[in-house]
Every structure is written in structure tokens, then in C-alpha cells.
Amino acid sequence: MTWDGAQFVARVTLPNGCETGYARVATMERSIGSVRPFVCRTADGDLPPGALIEGLIWGGRDRANWQADVTADLAALSKQPDHGWEYSVLWLFRRSADRTAFTRDVFLRDVQRVDRDEKSRTAGLLSSLVYGYDGAGETALAFDRLKELCDRFPESELTGRLGLYFASIAVVNHPEFEPELNRLLAQVALRSPDNPGLRTLMSRLVARTPTPIATIRQIAEGWMRDEPENMQPHYYLAEALAQSQAADAQSEAESHASAAIDLVFRPHPFDSAERRPRQAVFELRSKLRTARGDLAGASADAQIARTIAEAGFGRPAPTFSATTLDAKTIDTASLRGRITVLDFWFINCPPCAVERPKLNAIVDEFGDRVRFVGFALDSPEALTAYRKANPYRYEIVARSQAIADAFDVKSFPTHMVIDASGTIVWLSGSDDDRIERLRATIARVLAAARQ
């Protein structure tokens, strides 16, 4: 970045064919402001195929003319070698912006039409069908398409970044499919360990699949070559090695844990994806040091892990004031005297939508003992329409970006628990079991309040 006398300016060259991008500013300690999406243009000023469709979701286009834009963009994308991903974007958009007409039956018929009429069974298409069938209530068919995707395109980045990712969201409410997801993920890893799309699922790959350590090593080492400043591949390899019974595995695990920790302390922009791995790698090295008798080093690492885990906890909720969709005033003072759960989300967030039934169940379980407030980024009009077809038992505050910034929320969904004194006592991470952790935290805080 450079200072031009009035503002900081940064320029970046994007890969050829890139449809959209994201910009954010970060120091070593935190992100500053919200992520800003944008639609890309080619060197001659044209929009690349797919940019119009992507812009519907990420705010780079005026949605009023979306149907004409979609028709033109679909025609342009049909000539691309790996088109098909665009259907998942369109379905996601229509589920929020066109909900009155786009009922579940209409959704399912459209997914079936695409499945029937699209002759090119690309990785992008099959990934979209995974999302589409699950969203339309046919999760078994979604996993049929996932199997086809993993069997045919283990080398495609879209297989990991879209297809397997969509499936990992689906199993939140359909745990009966989790063994099949883990099996297919391990299959792709074994057949194509150089696929960078696997990196988004490394936590699941290491913890929940019987993947050989040699495969985990190949994935991690490729990641290290591509992103030498990233601590996460070292951490995940260390975690896998720590579970191994091979000779010298524990020593190598500690070496990679130390490499990850070294990278944590080197200057680089803060990435919210590192929050949980940063804590976990100190916990891991503490255990490894304990096992070999280095109790002083283990104690120091355990203390740092606790410090990281408590970052953002134990502090008062920031000052804010807002009005819910039901015209109730909510502010910092109103959070006191009662345990409160906050949910930061937005309509076009797939994990947010998938978690909704479990969050509603938690509201039913704890009832009046806990206040539940959802801070959404969307407009009141969009949220009112969305809520008619998607019962959401939290109080809802619209246009909450400023409040999310005040709470230092950088990823969605994010859940928080605030105790009766108005203190933040728990913050969710990216763990697959974050809803279960939320429920356990509520129960723990309620029990503590009764003592």
C-alpha cells in the first residue's frame, strides 16, 4: 500500500478469468473494517463470464436487472470448460431474493432440470448439484452427486472447495451422511493429494478420516510451498503426526508445531482463519513437551494457549444501540441481568442457513432463561421476506455491519455468549461442532449463575 497524500492506495493483478474478489485491511493483530467484495474486469474493461452472476450475491451488481444479466452470463459460461458452478450461486441468490416464487418445490424442479439437461458433467456442475439437492430437501441425491464428483474429478479444486464443502455443511443437520462424507474426502485425498481444494477441509481430514500420514504430509507440504508464511499446514501436519505411532513421529510433530508457532510471531496480516489453529498449536506443543518431560516449556505453552483462547473473552460487550424488526430497542445496557446469545449472520451465508434449525432448537430448550439476538447484515425488507419462509426464533436486528465491527466479528456465522454482567464469556470459532459448544456453554453459564 502507498500513501497518495489523502488515502492509502493498493493495486493488485488478478488471475485471468477471475470473476470477483475481496479486499480487506489487516494489521498483525486484527482486521480493520469489513471485507469489501468487488466484481472484476478484464484488461480491456470487459466483465469476464460469471462476473454478473457472482455480483448478484456479493453486491457488485444492481439486482433489478438480474434475469437479463443471468441469461447473458449463462450463455457466456456455457462455452467455458468447467462451467456449472454458477448454478449454486443462482440458487443461493434466488433462495433469498426471489423466495416468494422460489419455493422448495420450484427449487427441486430447477435442480432436476439442470441435472437432466446439462450434458457436460463438469466438476462445477456436480458441485452445484450437491448444494442444490441438499437445499431442496433431497440430501441422499446430493450425496449421490458428491460420489460422482469425487469418483470423476478428484483432481479438481472445485471438488474440495465447493462439492465437499457443501457436503460438510449438509451433515450439520444430516449426521447420518457424515461417514460417507469422510470416506469420500479420504478417497479424494488419496487419489489427488496435490488438490489445493483439500486445504479448506484439513481439520476434518486429519481428525475424522483414516488418511495415511504420507498423504497428509503431501497435502501439507504442497500448501507450505504455495503459502510459506501460513502456519496452518505446519499445524495440521503436526496434529496428524502426534496421532501416529511411527518412530520419531512425536519429535517431528513438535518440530512442525514449533515451525507453526514461529510463523504466528512473524509479521503478516491477521487472518481470522488462524484464530483456532493458533490456540490449538500451543496446546499441542504443550502436550508433546509434557510427554518428553519438558514441564517448564509445556507450562509456558499452556499459558499462551489460554491467553489466545481468552482473547475477546472477559471483556464487556461494546456500546451499541439498535432496533429489532419487531420494533424493540436493544442496547448494551439491556444485555445486563440476563444471559444473552448473539448470532452474527447474513441471508446468503450457507452455513448460517444450515445452522438455523439447531439454533431454533436451542431457543426452545432454554426458553425465557436466555435472550437470543441475531445481528444480520441484510436490509429490513429482505429479512422480513426471508423470515416468512424461514422461521428464526431469535430477535433480529437489520443492517448490523457496524455492530459486527464493534464486536470485532470478521467471519460468519459467529456466535457469542454474554453473561448477566454484560461480559463476553464465549466466542465461536470455525469448528464443525460449534453449535454443540454453544449449547454446552449456555448450560455452563446458567449453572454458574444459579450457584
Q: What is the mean pLDDT of the chain?
A: 89
* Counts for the chain of helices (H) and strands (E), in that order: 19, 11
- Of the pLDDT bands very low, low, confident and very high (cuts 50, 70, 90), residue 33 is low
Q: How far does Cα 53 stand from its chain's mean position? A: 21
CA nearest 173: which of 147, 209, 142, 210? 142
Angstrom distance (rounded) from CA 404 to CA 414: 9
CB of 150 within 8 A of CB of 187?
Answer: yes
**Beta strands at 2-3 and 370-376: parallel, antiparallel or unpaired:** unpaired
- Name the residue with higher pLDDT: 33 or 217: 217
Its CATH class, for the domain covering 321-450, is alpha beta
Angle between helix axes 104-117 and 86-97 (nearest 10 degrees) is 160
User: Which are the contacts of 118, defined by CB distance < 8 A and separation ≥ 6?
Assistant: 84, 125
The three-state secondary structure class of 324 is strand
Q: Checking DSSP bridges between strand 8-9 and strand 2-3, what pairing results, if any?
A: antiparallel
Question: DSSP for 134-182?
Answer: HHTT-HHHHHHHHHHHHHH-TT-HHIIIIIIHHHHHHTTT-GGGHHHHH
**Please, what's the b/e burial string for 204-225 (b: 16 or more CB within 10 A of its CB; e: otherwise)?**
bbbebbebebebbbbbbebbbe
Cα dihedral 327/330/334/340 (nearest 10): 110
Express each pLDDT in 269-316 by its tens digit. 767 677 778 889 999 999 999 999 999 999 998 888 877 765 556 678
DSSP state for residue 1 in the 8-state scheme: -
Domain ranges of the chain: 321-450
**Hey, what's the cell of 290?**
509434557
Percent of the chain with pLDDT over 70: 93
CA-to-CA dists, residue 167 to 65, 178, 313, angstroms: 32, 9, 32
Distance between CA 449 and CA 444 in Å, rounded? 9
DSSP 8-state code for residue 310: T
Residue 346 near residue 379 (C-beta atoms within 8 A): no
pLDDT digits (tens, 9 = 90+) for 37-82: 777 888 788 888 888 888 777 655 555 667 877 888 888 888 888 8
Confidence of residue 233 (pLDDT cuts 50, 70, 90): very high
- Residue-level pLDDT at 118: 92
C-alpha to C-alpha distance for 30 and 27, rounded to whole angstroms: 5
Sign of the Cα torsion 212, 214, 217, 223 reads: negative
The pLDDT, as a whole number, for residue 303 is 85
Residue 4 CA to its chain's centroid (Å): 35
Q: Which three cell numbers stand for residue 345?
A: 449472520
Q: Residue 19: what are its φ and ψ, rounded to 5°? A: -90, -45
- Our CA angle for 298, 302, 305, nearest 5°, is 140
Of 98-102, 126-130, 238-242, 347-351, the poorest mean pLDDT is in 98-102
What b/e sequence results for 293-311 when a residue is b if at least 16 CB atoms lie within 10 Å of its CB, and e otherwise? ebeebbeebbebbeebbee
- Tell me the longest C-alpha to C-alpha distance in the chain: 68
The x, y and z cell numbers of residue 248, run together, are 520419531
Dump pLDDT digits (tens) for 136-161. Answer: 999 999 999 999 999 999 999 999 99
Instruction: Report pLDDT for 366.
Output: 95
